[in-house]
Amino acid sequence: MLDDHESTAKFALLRIRYILRLSWALAWARFKLRIAGRYLGIFWYILEPLAFFLILLSLQINVGAASIPRYPEYLMLGLIMTNFFISTISGSIGSIRENKNMVQSISIPQEVLPLSTVIQFCFSHAIEFLFFIVIIIYYGMFSWVVLWYIPIFVVFATFVLGLSFLFATLGVFIEDLNNIWSVGSRLLWLGTPIFYALTPGTLLARANDFNPLYYFMTFARTTVVYSSVSETAFIFGVIILSVLTLIIGEAVFSKTKISFGEYL
């Protein structure tokens, strides 16, 4: 009986390693493909956040953000976190449906498709993070506390991975999900305090009580921008949310993936 358990555990470990290696290879291939033959190369990845950063920074007074301390750092961190979140979910929605030939004709673990999407956008986010460091050096705000963003991002990426499994599953059964997300992501972008601060007691502040992106952004800004330590309950709450989302997302994906072929 013990040998059976050991064999099962060893097989599960080998399968996880295979999924991770295949996902990494696929993500890296997609990442390189996007910049292949482009004049700007990897700078395409920072073009969008840079444009939004410059526009919103010039509108700082107009959007009521003049009183926000360390605003360039506050703004850029919000932009790259939101960009990672929205881009990854957008890519995950079609990760199964847009690769139906691969799903139907090639025997690979289907988990590879949403997982590789998340890893691909982790690559681009790493470039955005380096640009974030350049920004804070330029404004004389650099501190080694910025490295705390790495473990915070691991927690954040865990949460996004769980959602990616869920959205990849829903994307198989709901053909219009991309259009729905396109509208929803715009509302999320405007409703999340990326370039402004929330006023307590307002309708928008109450709405963000149900916005998980707001909590991760607050966690990162508190630590990286303001060099403060969040409350222990808040930190554990964010970690538990990430882990639970991953468990639920992967469970839903695993339970329904056997029927993906029927709907593609």
Query: Please, what is the Cα angle at 113 between 241 and 184, to 5 degrees?
Result: 55
The answer to whether 154 and 113 are in contact (CB under 8 A) is no
Tokens standing for residue 5: 């358990």
pLDDT number for residue 37: 58
pLDDT score for 62: 74
- The residue segments making up the domain with residue 157 are 2-263
| Of the candidates 41, 58, 56, 52, the residue with the CA atom closest to the CA atom of residue 80 | 52
Which residue positions in the chain have pLDDT lower than 50?
Answer: 1-2
197: amino acid identity, one letter: A
For 230, other C-beta atoms within 10 Å of its C-beta total: 18
Stated length of the chain: 264
pLDDT at 2: 47
List Cβ<8 Å contacts ≥24 apart for 252-256.
Answer: 252/165, 252/166, 252/169, 253/110, 253/111, 253/114, 253/165, 253/166, 253/168, 253/169, 254/111, 256/169, 256/172
The answer to whether the beta carbons of residues 6 and 96 sit under 8 Å apart is no
User: Burial level of 6, CB count in 10 A (0-12/13-18/19+)?
Assistant: exposed
pLDDT of 3 reads 60
Per the structure, how many domains does the chain have? Answer: 1
Residue ranges in the chain assigned as alpha helix (H): 2-35, 44-58, 71-93, 100-105, 112-138, 149-173, 177-191, 203-207, 212-220, 232-256, 260-263
For residue 38, what pLDDT is reported?
A: 60
Separation CA 1–CA 106 (nearest Å): 34
Average pLDDT value for the chain: 89
Burial degree of 33 (CB within 10 A; 0-12, 13-18, 19+): exposed
Residues 63, 198: Cα–Cα separation, whole Å: 12
Give the gyration radius of the chain's Cα atoms.
20
